Chains A and B, each alone.
Chain A
Amino acid sequence: MSLLLEILSWIFIVSGSFFCVTAGLGLLRLPDFFSRTHAGGVMDSLGVGLLFVAMALQAPGYLVIIKLVFIYIFVLLTGPAAIHALTRAAVHSGEIPLLPNEPDHSEDTSSKP
């Protein structure tokens, strides 16, 4: 039973760490603001979720698990709300999405690699 918990915790920790690093890498490397919001969403849902499942498997008591569930529910509610407000403000202020058939916009909206 303890060995099973250890193996499951390792699986969740490695996958959660992978998604965290993926979110950071996407935040750096994606070409456009609207695609970078996708990287922020990956961090909010999968990075936090998988790492919190691993922590709940290692938790010493039920109170810790309840706190983890509360934090995860709060992050799940507020993360998409914040990113949606941010994207809407960006659209209002005239940020242009990078479209595949308009190569003219790729110079001024793409970041430095």
Chain B
Amino acid sequence: MFSIAMIAVLITMVMALARALMGPSVYDRILAVNTFGTAAILFIAVLGFLMGRPEFLDIALVYALINFIGTIAVLKFFKYGNLGYSDEDSEGENA
């Protein structure tokens, strides 16, 4: 039953990876990596149910946290060129 969901998630991961490799702008690549991370959360959860061990959901939860922080960190690094940038230097500027 869950093998169909696994195949669909794998197809989605391949498509997101293709967009990440050939994206024209850097934002297309970040969006594709974000979608790939969501597909990886689904992959880990479905894999746990497929192997009869739903404890894999803990790993999926940690991966969801890392995915969000990774996307925001890459955006900040791309904007400022430095992850240690503090927001006090530019009050009126929106990130």
Residues of chain A touching chain B, judged by Cβ–Cβ distance below 8 Å, are 6, 9-10, 13-14, 16-18, 20-21, 23-25, 27-28, 33, 36-37, 39-40, 43-44, 47-48, 51-52, 54-55, 58-60, 64, 67-68, 70-71, 74-75, 78-79, 81-83, 85-90, 92-93, 95, 109, 111-112
Tell which of B34, B61, B64, B94 touches A83, judged by Cβ atoms closer than 8 Å. Answer: B34
Tell which of A47, A86, A90, A92 touches B71, judged by Cβ atoms closer than 8 Å. Answer: A86
Residue interface mask B1-33, A partner, CB < 8 A = 1: 110110111011111101100111101101110
What are 8 pairs between A and B in contact, CB < 8 Å?
A17-B7, A43-B35, A44-B38, A58-B1, A74-B65, A75-B38, A87-B27, A95-B27
Using A20-B12, A58-B49 as known contacts, list a sample of 10 further A-B pairs with CB atoms less than 8 Å apart, ordered by residue number in A.
A13-B1, A17-B4, A20-B42, A28-B15, A68-B45, A71-B41, A75-B64, A79-B38, A83-B31, A90-B27
B4 near A14: Cβ-Cβ < 8 Å: yes
A71 near B61: Cβ-Cβ < 8 Å: yes
Per the bound structure, the CA–CA distance linking A48 and B67 in Å amounts to 14
Per the bound structure, the CA–CA distance linking A24 and B18 in Å amounts to 10
Question: How many chain B residues have a CB neighbour from A under 8 Å?
Answer: 49
B12 near A23: Cβ-Cβ < 8 Å: yes
Task: With both chains docked as a complex, state the minimum distance between the C-beta of B87 and any C-beta of chain A, in angstroms.
Answer: 14
Per the bound structure, the CA–CA distance linking A100 and B24 in Å amounts to 20
> Which 5 A-B residue pairings sit nearest by Cβ, starting from the closest?
A24-B15, A17-B8, A24-B12, A78-B68, A67-B57
A90 near B64: Cβ-Cβ < 8 Å: no
Per the bound structure, the CA–CA distance linking A13 and B88 in Å amounts to 48
Q: Give residues 65-92 of B contacting A (CB, 8 Å).
A: 65, 67-68, 71-72, 75, 78-79
